[in-house]
Copies of this chain bind each other. A is one copy, B any other.
Amino acid sequence: MRIGELATRAGVSVRALRYYEEQGLLRSTRSPSGQRHYPEHAVDRVQLVQMLYGAGLSSKTIADLLPCVDAQVSTPESRARLAAERDRIDAQIVELTRTRDRLDAVITLSTSPAGGCAYEGAPAEQEPVAI
Contact = CB atoms under 8 A, between A and B. Distances in A.
Given A93-B93, A110-B68, A99 B52 contact: yes
Copies of this chain, tallied across the complex: 2
B75 A130 contact: no
A55 B96 contact: yes
A126 B79 contact: no
B86 A100 contact: yes
A1 interface: no
A26 interface: yes
Nearest to A89: B100
Interface in A2-61: 24-27, 48, 51-52, 54-55
Interface residues of A, number: 55
A25 B130 CA distance: 10
A93 B100 contact: yes
B83 A107 contact: yes
B71 A25 contact: no
B82 A110 contact: yes
B51 A99 contact: yes
Interface in A71-86: 71-76, 78-79, 82-83, 85-86
